Amino acid sequence: MTNRPIAVVGASAAGITAAEALRRAGWDGPLTLIGDEPHLPYDRPPLSKQLLHGAWEPAKLLLRTEEQLAPLGLDLRLGTRATALDVATRTLTLDGGERLACAGVIIATGVAARTLPAAEGFAGVFTLRTLDDALALRDRLSGGARRLVVVGNGVLGCEAAAVAHELGHDVALIGREPVPMAAAVGAGIGELLAEEHRARGVRLVTGEVAAFETTADATEATDATDDTDATDGAGAQVTGVRLADGTLLPADLVLLAIGSEPAVGWLADPALDTTDGLGCDAYCAAAPGIYAAGDVARWEHPVHGHPLRFEHRMNATEQAMAAARNLVAELTAEASTEAAVEGTEPPERRPFAPVPYFWSDQYGLKLQAYGLTSGADEVETTVLDRDARRAVALYGRAGRAVGVLACALPPRQIRALRAVVATPVPWEEARDRVREATAAG
């Protein structure tokens, strides 16, 4: 094989999993792992839950210690950003100007948190994507009761609102739609979550953010260098969120949880499709020798028959393993062809066809979903116990069941529900199987 390295760009869950899978698949050449954060690979889901709550410290989020990484023989480039990729030559450009010619590349750069331009530069306004983001917000939440306004009532916003309320803060949760997480789980489950948030004391607000009130609005002469909040290194401190209808929500802190953008801005080569992530085929290949995994990857799911991009932890791990195996299979085939090796069959690439899975923890509730829950044209929600928030929802497209979600159900029932949508089945058949799975207990 070539002396050129395989480079994995992105050092979170998908990146480290890809690096380990490359070694298991037989790649014994140079292996470079590039991450734009200075931290060793860490797990992101606990950022909005256990870490923000204070139950965990950063060390518990580490996916691998330095000692565990050592056997991989990595050229580990932390605090380094890839700025360009030449697809034809498989050459990366790094932020220091270095050009790295590669045998293959796996792109696992994930997503970046969306922000609102109107909030730029204000102290007390946060996003929640990285470890540093979470620690900064946790620090502010640890200083006594605060008024927190969470902008965005999707999964991240709901989880953070739940944690902040449990910590004793006054929380308002703003969404464009009246039902939390409706786009992800449908109106039925979303309304059940809304009931739980209201019962806990979280204020649910429907509206569009128009502006942010700050200390600069209260005093005509605010020095741009004023360190009103030295922790955030900004001048004007946020004091409220004003909605398009004129409503003002007082705030000491604001969390922007308004979604994310795939981190593909550095991929300008026209050979790549960067519409809603990095477009890939069923093998997770974006181009010859170029693969993608995790939140950034949009691939052709061979079972569902259309492109998917799935921003959830389990997919990051599973897709990284698939991309690594398929890249090694491609490079092995290339090497066999170049060497004119006869009598040996290189490993075959395999399509990536998972049953998508995601979960969310809010208060004492655990939501677990299999298959596709967004974009359904038919949703049937069955509330089994309203007080306990126990429920199941079935999601369908074009007469077939494609997803199922369980809220506060025991593991035995959840395993049975997964089997219902492992492959799309007719809607009526799936309804019967869901009823059977939830009939007992």
Q: 31-60 b/e with 16+ CB inside 10 Å = b?
A: bbbbbbbebbbbbbbbbbbbbbbeeeebee
The owner of tokens 């210690």 is: 65
CA dihedral 330, 336, 340, 344 (to 10 degrees): -120
Of 232, 192, 230, nearest to 360 by C-alpha is 192
DSSP at 287 = E
pLDDT score recorded for residue 232: 42
The owner of tokens 């969390």 is: 255
Residue 134 near residue 50 (C-beta atoms within 8 A): no
Specify the 3-state DSSP secondary structure of 154.
coil
The owner of tokens 């991450």 is: 35
Residue 179 near residue 187 (C-beta atoms within 8 A): yes
**Confidence bin at 144 (pLDDT 50/70/90):** confident
pLDDT score recorded for residue 218: 61
> What separation in angstroms does the CA of 122 have from each of 130, 142, 228, 252, 433?
19, 20, 10, 11, 52
pLDDT score recorded for residue 98: 97
Asked whether the predicted pLDDT for residue 415 surpasses 60, the reply is: yes
Q: Could you give the percent of the chain with pLDDT greater than 70?
A: 94
Asked whether the predicted pLDDT for residue 130 surpasses 80, the reply is: yes
**Distance from C-alpha of 361 to C-alpha of 373, rounded to nearest angstrom:** 17
Asked whether the predicted pLDDT for residue 359 surpasses 90, the reply is: yes
Asked whether the predicted pLDDT for residue 121 surpasses 80, the reply is: yes
pTM score: 0.92
**Confidence bin at 423 (pLDDT 50/70/90):** confident
Specify the 3-state DSSP secondary structure of 292.
strand
pLDDT score recorded for residue 342: 58
> What separation in angstroms does the CA of 47 have from each of 60, 81, 136, 237, 361?
11, 22, 11, 24, 12
Asked whether the predicted pLDDT for residue 227 surpasses 80, the reply is: no
pLDDT score recorded for residue 337: 73
Asked whether the predicted pLDDT for residue 240 surpasses 50, the reply is: yes
**Confidence bin at 229 (pLDDT 50/70/90):** very low
**Confidence bin at 343 (pLDDT 50/70/90):** low
